[in-house]
């Protein structure tokens, strides 16, 4: 896992901001067509079929029916509706293709410039350029495209698109998509644009709430050099400032280096995390270098004296509730997916939540995890503790001191400019020829991030993708480079899937898990990118165990995220206090069901620490899916040219997950390859330990 992706896959997040009323499927109301009577719509359908022939029947039925489902009284009379359908239906294939090309060109232009506006307006929030001012938050929370969908309904561009490029449900795409050509897929993706009419004020409100939560997380730092143990000593460097949860988690992972104070540091970080989850963390210690704090006793000291320090006033859970209520406002306008849960999974991931939960539950219940836990216990020489969900000892770098890795990273990358200049060389290291490496890298800009880091993709082929990563004073740390390698993988995917697809409407990937997969593939090669890669006969086995353990951890976190959202929908009037209590109960239940049998420890709330839950609702499932896809791609890459296969796979573009996986690696998303490899790896690594 990486310490980021909070603002990423911005390509997808921004698209959601631009057309928050979009959906991948729409289910036509069976009893009414809103302002268009069913009889009127059917009469228009029959007339067009009689005029153009039964070969057009399916498209006419879908297109006219979907226009009728979204037509409102202020769009015109029933006769206006009928005239619109008669006038604008394109029966001729060449005329339809011309319309498609025109719409594609104009959508790229509009979405690209709206994306650029959002990128520029949020720079003060996302880039490390000094204190955030109130005016920055006001501009950053503005959604330039909030009114776009409704404007296009009013001027009939949306209806023109729907009529000629109707949507296909996910089941239909999965059933017949294998027989479609590329143009048919592009037409189908055009049909996914307009399937609901969410009022602009709701879109704008969602943007404002998301920005507020994102800013809360971005500014939530713990000053580690100010933490005290029970002896009144500090364990961390004075200038170490870690964002939660990403920075805390990665510092915890870095302390599996065998150093004398490593375990004490990990226990202190775990205690900090628990204080964040239960909101007993004193508000005045957050991002404040002027006080000292013992997270075990929860006492705060200023100038050597104990200071009054009330806990954070449930701010974490207020932001989570705000996100829930903002997204719930769109439910009545989204007949296809009448809850945010359905929109996040069936629309966003094109996978049902029940399907995803079943996949995750299968893995976290697998008996091989107990064997891996025993192996980790043996390697650590102690019983497992809850924070060992982030055990980092299967990576090749485990034998290299963190200080040495930091030295190398700082020397190579003293600033963002140095990293940007080196991007072509990194791609050459991964197998790209020099010309192709320069071509891809020339479309990526590197910037210093305020938060942990993210990748912001372009929406227009004349624009750049942005790699944002945190660069410490004195240069990039190894952890910073590890994050940057992950983000670089996103940028490469964003570039290939925008510039190398044959139709603009197919740009992107099926869902965010697929871009996470390539980001993981880049991230796992961080040592190679630093010039430290060495041959290791156990590398493949260690990598399988590392991916399994990381997938296990994030699947648990995702199961908590899903259960919390389900509970909020069942309890729409919940208070922040009730949500906190329920979130902790859910986290401990998931822990007790799937982690306690491996760890031998009950009732840990640690799975509730992820900041994504607060600022990027229901995004977390993309990570474990990404790990599964990563592993399947890695297996496919064996014996092949990595660069060539990456180009081939990610130029497939935005197909459904099932179709993309079939064309890319020849099979569906599955736990089986990873579990099988891990079972073999446990035996081999145990013998070699």
pLDDT digits (tens, 9 = 90+) for 271-305: 999 999 999 999 999 999 999 999 999 999 998 88
pLDDT digits (tens, 9 = 90+) for 203-213: 889 989 998 99
Domain that holds residue 128: 10-216
Number of neighbouring beta carbons within 10 Å of residue 365: 11
Has residue 171 been placed in a domain?
A: yes
Has residue 118 been placed in a domain?
A: yes
| Cα angle: 384, vertex 630, 685; to 5 degrees | 40
Residues 6 or more apart in contact with residue 620 via CB below 8 angstroms: 554, 557, 558, 561, 610, 612, 613
Q: Do 167 and 26 contact (CB within 8 A), yes or no?
A: yes
Has residue 367 been placed in a domain?
A: no
Has residue 149 been placed in a domain?
A: yes
Which one, of 251, 70, 89, lies nearest residue 163 by Cα? 89
Region of 391 on the Ramachandran plot (φ > 0 left; ψ -120 to 50 alpha; else beta)? beta
Angle between helices 182-190 and 93-121 (to 10 degrees): 60
Has residue 370 been placed in a domain?
A: no
d(CA 227, CA 240): 11
* DSSP structural state of residue 312: P
Number of neighbouring beta carbons within 10 Å of residue 652: 23
Number of neighbouring beta carbons within 10 Å of residue 469: 27
Q: pTM for the whole thing?
A: 0.83
Number of independent structural domains in the chain: 1
**pLDDT given for residue 396 in this prediction:** 61
Number of neighbouring beta carbons within 10 Å of residue 287: 12
**615: Cα separation from own chain's centroid:** 11
**pLDDT given for residue 534 in this prediction:** 61
Q: Do 64 and 88 contact (CB within 8 A), yes or no?
A: no
**pLDDT given for residue 89 in this prediction:** 98
Has residue 645 been placed in a domain?
A: no
**pLDDT given for residue 678 in this prediction:** 96
- With a cut of 70, list the residues of the chain below it in pLDDT: 1-34, 396-399, 534-537, 688-689
Which one, of 539, 538, 253, 545, lies nearest residue 372 by Cα? 545
388: enclosing H helix or E strand: none
d(CA 455, CA 287): 24
Has residue 58 been placed in a domain?
A: yes
Has residue 130 been placed in a domain?
A: yes
């Amino acid at each position: 896992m990486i310490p980021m992706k909070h603002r990423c896959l911005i390509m997808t997040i921004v698209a959601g901001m631009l057309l928050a009323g979009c959906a991948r499927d729409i289910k036509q109301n069976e009893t009414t067509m809103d302002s268009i009577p069913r009889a009127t719509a059917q009469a228009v359908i029959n007339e067009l079929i009689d005029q153009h022939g039964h070969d057009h029947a399916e498209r006419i039925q879908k297109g006219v029916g979907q226009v009728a489902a979204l037509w409102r009284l202020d769009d015109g009379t029933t006769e206006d509706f009928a005239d619109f359908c008669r006038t604008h239906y394109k029966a001729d294939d060449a005329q339809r293709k011309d319309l498609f090309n025109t719409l594609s060109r104009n959508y790229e232009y509009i979405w690209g410039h709206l994306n650029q506006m959002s990128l520029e307006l949020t720079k003060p929030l996302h880039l490390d350029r000094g204190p955030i001012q109130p005016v920055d938050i006001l501009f950053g929370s503005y959604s330039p495209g909030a009114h776009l969908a409704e404007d296009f309904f009013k001027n009939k561009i949306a209806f023109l698109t729907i009529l000629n490029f109707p949507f296909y449900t996910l089941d239909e795409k999965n059933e017949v998509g294998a027989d479609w050509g590329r143009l048919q897929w592009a037409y189908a993706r055009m049909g996914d644009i307009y399937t609901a009419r969410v009022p602009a004020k709701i879109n704008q409100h969602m943007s404002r709430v998301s920005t507020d939560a994102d800013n809360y997380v971005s500014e939530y730092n713990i000053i580690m050099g100010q933490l005290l143990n029970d002896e009144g000593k500090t364990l961390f460097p004075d200038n170490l400032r870690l964002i939660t949860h990403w920075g805390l988690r990665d510092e915890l992972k870095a302390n599996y280096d065998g150093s004398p104070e490593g375990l004490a540091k990990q226990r202190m970080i775990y205690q900090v995390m628990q204080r964040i989850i239960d909101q007993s963390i004193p508000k005045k210690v957050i991002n404040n270098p002027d006080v000292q704090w013992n997270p075990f006793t929860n006492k705060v000291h200023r100038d050597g004296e104990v200071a009054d320090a009330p806990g954070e006033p449930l701010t974490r859970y207020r932001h989570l509730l705000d996100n829930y209520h903002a997204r719930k406002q769109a439910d009545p306008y989204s007949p296809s997916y009448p809850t945010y849960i359905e929109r996040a999974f069936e629309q966003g991931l094109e996978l049902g939540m029940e399907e995803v939960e079943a996949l995750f539950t299968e893995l976290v219940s697998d008996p091989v995890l107990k064997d891996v836990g025993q192996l980790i216990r043996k390697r650590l020489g102690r019983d497992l503790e809850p924070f060992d969900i982030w055990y980092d000892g299967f990576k090749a770098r485990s034998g290299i001191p963190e200080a040495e890795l930091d030295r190398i990273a700082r020397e190579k990358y003293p600033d963002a400019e140095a990293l940007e200049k080196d991007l072509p060389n990194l791609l050459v290291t991964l197998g790209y020829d020099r010309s192709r490496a320069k071509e891809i890298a020339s479309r990526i800009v590197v910037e210093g991030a305020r938060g942990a880091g993210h990748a912001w993709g372009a929406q227009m082929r004349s624009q750049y993708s942005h790699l944002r990563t945190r660069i410490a004073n004195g240069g990039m740390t190894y952890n910073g480079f590890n994050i940057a390698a992950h983000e670089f993988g996103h940028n490469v995917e964003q570039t290939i899937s925008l510039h190398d697809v044959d139709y603009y409407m197919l740009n992107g990937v099926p869902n965010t898990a697929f871009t996470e997969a390539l980001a993981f593939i880049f991230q796992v090669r961080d040592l190679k990118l630093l010039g430290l890669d060495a041959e290791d006969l156990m590398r493949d086995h260690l990598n399988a165990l590392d991916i399994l353990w990381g997938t296990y951890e994030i699947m648990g976190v995702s199961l908590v995220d899903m259960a919390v959202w389900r509970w909020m929908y069942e309890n729409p009037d919940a208070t922040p206090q009730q949500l906190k209590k329920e979130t902790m109960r859910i986290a401990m239940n998931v822990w007790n069901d799937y982690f306690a049998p491996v760890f031998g420890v009950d009732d840990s709330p640690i799975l509730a620490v992820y900041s994504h839950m607060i600022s990027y609702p229901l995004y977390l499932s993309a990570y474990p899916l990404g790990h599964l896809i990563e592993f399947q791609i890695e297996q496919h890459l064996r014996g092949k040219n990595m660069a060539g296969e990456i180009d081939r796979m990610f130029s497939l573009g935005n197909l459904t997950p099932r179709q993309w996986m079939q064309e890319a690696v020849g099979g569906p998303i599955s736990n089986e390859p990873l579990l099988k490899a891990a079972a073999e790896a446990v035996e081999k690594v145990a013998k070699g330990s």
